[in-house]
Amino acid sequence: MQNSKKFKAYSKVLSIAGSDSGGGAGIQADLKTFHEFKCYGASVITAVTSQNTMGVFNIHEIPQSSIESQLDCVLRDIDFDSIKIGMLFSNEIIKIVAKKLIEYKCKNIVLDPVILSKNKTQLLKNDAYKTLINNLFPLTEILTPNLPEAEILLSRNIQSLYDIEKAAIDLLSLGPQAVVVKGGHFSNGNKCSDCMAISSENKVTVFWLESEKFFTNNSHGTGCTFSAAFAANLAIGLNRVESFKEAKKFISKSILQGSYYKIGHGIGPICHFGITTKIRKTI
């Protein structure tokens, strides 16, 4: 007898990224963020890092056959509403991920071009920058570099708000549908200004969002969490601009909430607990 029960549908998000043993960034931060937005989170692990709040002490690259197998298993079985990509580490991993995204016709891809850790450890090999740009940027719905990453990708310094906007537009020309350059590293008084450039119908539209800047040592996982929140909001059906606004609210609240806690002896993590509830009360 056929089961006629009607099941509810999850909003489903896949994270393709590295594992952070300290729990503040990477796959761990992504899954915590997806959960906060009531999204079902799955993962493909590209590298295992040995790290804590003091730094990254070892990187183990997952064998390419294992990464390909992980991708095949989840993408063949689950129809994801969005995909967040973080640490990829090498040319070979980038090419495998790009191939599988095309093969399975993946949508709503959010790429956080992870290059350096908070402690300045190299998380993307120097010879992989061009591979990332050529293979993944054209598949990307949203690209979310911070200022140091944007400077590396464009090979120039960013020293003003005008430079941030120009960087977002120039990165847009490399293939993504939209680019958010995050201004957390920029000195702008008590404000944190993020710029989004969107390509649509042969024109570029620019949006700025501003929030209060919180001066705290607990900032580990901000980039991963922001891009994961962006992907989660795309998964639940919001458009790019709405997802940008919600991700900005989420990361601001996460940084503020995390500033009240003490974990470890170095750069502590932001907080993921109950943040979306706090956001909804302020909308």
Instruction: Could you list the beta-strand ranges (E) of the chain.
Output: 11-20, 39-52, 55-61, 82-85, 109-111, 142-143, 178-181, 191-200, 203-212
The angle that helices 91-103 and 64-77 make with each other, rounded to 10 degrees, is 20
pLDDT, tens only, 73-111: 999 999 999 999 999 999 999 999 999 999 999 999 999
Q: How confident is the model at residue 162 (pLDDT cuts 50, 70, 90)?
A: very high
191: left (phi over 0), alpha (psi -120 to 50) or beta: beta
- Asked if the model's pLDDT at residue 198 lies above 50, the reply is yes
The letter for the amino acid at 38 is: K
Pick 200 or 245 by higher pLDDT: 245
Q: pTM value?
A: 0.93
Residue 109 has a pLDDT of: 98
Residue 157 has a pLDDT of: 95
Q: Nearest Cα to 49, choosing from 19, 28, 73, 26? A: 19
